[in-house]
Chains A and B, each alone.
Chain A
Amino acid sequence: MSTATLGALELVVLLAVARLKDKAYGLAIRRDLAARTGRDYSVGALYTTLQRLEDKGLLTSRHSEPLPVRGGRSRRHFTLTGAGARALREAERHAASIWAGIGKPLRPRLA
């Protein structure tokens, strides 16, 4: 999978799924994105991206058991696939090559 096909939102969503591991469902991903990027992505935009990543084979999903409340719904959890993990590594390498040669005063410290 080439990073050329990975958009900015797709990348941050993939990273959120990787970070949240088995707690990666829609609302959790959205809150994680809001906390880390400061942007309030709409639920529609998030699910469209998740669906696109799933179509690309970078994510897979499963439904959880219904929540233990009256009328509790089943959440859809997302997991990174092998292709997704490779895409993330490639994106990281790609970013590193882009930043290569930039001096420290300009280069932000990466966490």
Chain B
Amino acid sequence: MPSIHARRPTIATEPKANSALVTECVLMALGGDPAFIADLLGDLREEYSYRAARDGVNTARFWYLREMARSTPHLVWNAIRHGTPSARARLAAFILTVVVTFSVLTLAWLTRNGPPASLVVGGGVDSDGIVVNNLGPVPLSMSVLDARGRRLERTEVRYQRISGAPIQVSTRGVIKCTRPGDAIVRASLAPLQRDFVVHCEPVRKIRDAGWGNFVVGGPAGTFTVDAIGLDGKPVTRIAARLRVEDSTIATLDSSGRLRPLRPGQTWIDIEIGDRRAGAFVTVFEPVRTFEALRPDQLWVVAPIRLARGASIRWPLPTGAFFLTFSADSSEAPPTRGFVGLGSGSSPTVQFPINMSVAGLIMCTRMPELQPGVLGAHCLARAPGATLILTYSGPGGPNEIVGSVALERQEQH
């Protein structure tokens, strides 16, 4: 075993001298006091040699690096105190470079991606697989995540149909559903593997989604869409994408419930597979009557309750507007809200309601509306126009409960 003294000059002192010389040059270039730097580094070198002989080179190196790190603030302070203005500028630039480099490296390290750890089925998912409503080819949505859950941009995932309906699946994961059926598909990215079910439910068309009326502060309603399959029957399993054009008027949650927020009209885009459709939604502001409406009150609805033989007279605003009376079903409990005119919620009972107008106003009846719903497009040329609603019987309930909506056309 070599003696301590034999190791000392060759292993410990000589290799360190070069790096110390470089350190000294750098420190002096940064404006430190040469005597201060020479004394400090000289002591470090001497102590390093002593420790290398006593504790070994690695321990001494660790000590040297630790001492340099601990002495750095003092070296910087010395350079600030004793350096020239140009040396201080160099020092500032050096510190800035070190800080920026350190920050960038830290950020890069923190945001680095790890190796693939899991394959996750992406959009169009129900509880046990992917729903495909497309008729044309569509890429499967599969995400590759690392161990920290970060999405990796990988394209090497390979796909293969394992069993089930004979659907076409390319190795790149492009799927084509030519008929309804379920198949099990395997996604592989060595060493990961994931089997999942593909539900092929191609949609031939979306039945007209129509339109819906809602009231601010009223209950949210479920937005239902009918999709028709290749066999002409409704498709039960659909992965629809609904998007509200103006989400300040109404919002849609993930379960398809529409929540009215403020008066206005907006459009809902419906996308199922490669088919698209739309629906018009109007949100009304609840008012007691149409008297003294402000110019900005464009969509309003008022509840009415009419006993047999009774009538009401309400003043109407000037300008062009749509007027709609809608009666609640006599079987349903009376509601003060406005009954939706969309699919599935309209009244079916015929009532002998007479809706008329008086004054300088001209209306055109809209006959295509459903039973129990009266509609008219009106133009009131001067103040003083009046709406008259009369429940004249005979037959039907003793009292009619419903609402009258007024939809003003904006003045341009």
Contacts and interface: CB of A to CB of B under 8 A. Distances in A.
Contact of A44 (B13, B45, B72): B72
A43 interface: yes
Residue from B36, B39, B42 with most neighbouring chain A CB atoms (10 Å): B39
B156 interface: no
B42 A42 contact: no
B22 to A, nearest CB: 16
A82 B21 CA distance: 37
Interface residues of B, number: 23
B74 A45 contact: yes
Contact of A27 (B36, B43, B71): B43
Contact of B78 (A30, A48, A69, A71): A48
B288 interface: no
Contacts of A44: 40, 67, 70-75
Nearest to B14: A71
A70 interface: yes
A93 interface: no
B306 interface: no
Contact of B17 (A42, A43, A71): A71
Contacts of B13: 71
Contacts of B33: 51
A69 B17 CA distance: 14
A27 B9 contact: no
A48 B47 contact: no
A109 B33 CA distance: 42
Nearest to B75: A44
B314 interface: no
A100 B67 CA distance: 40
Given A51-B36, A51-B78, A71-B17, A45 B46 contact: no
B258 interface: no
Given A51-B36, A70-B9, A45 B71 contact: yes
Interface in A33-82: 42-45, 47-48, 51, 69-71, 73, 75-76
B77 A48 contact: yes
A27 B36 CA distance: 14
B70 A75 contact: no
Nearest to A30: B43
Nearest to B69: A42
Given A48-B74, A70-B9, A71-B17, A43 B36 contact: no
B77 A43 contact: no
Interface in B57-77: 67, 70-75, 77
B74 A47 contact: yes
A42 to B, nearest CB: 4
A34 to B, nearest CB: 11
B320 interface: no
B29 interface: no
Interface in B18-61: 33, 35-36, 39-40, 42-47
Interface of B: 9, 13, 17, 33, 35-36, 39-40, 42-47, 67, 70-75, 77-78
25 contacts: A25-B43, A26-B43, A30-B43, A42-B70, A42-B71, A43-B71, A44-B67, A44-B70, A44-B71, A44-B72, A44-B73, A44-B75, A45-B74, A47-B36, A47-B39, A47-B43, A47-B74, A48-B78, A51-B33, A51-B78, A71-B13, A73-B45, A73-B46, A76-B35, A76-B39
Given A71-B17, A73-B45, 20 more contacts: A25-B43, A26-B39, A26-B40, A26-B42, A42-B70, A42-B71, A43-B44, A43-B70, A44-B71, A44-B72, A44-B75, A47-B36, A47-B74, A48-B77, A51-B78, A69-B9, A73-B42, A73-B46, A76-B35, A76-B39
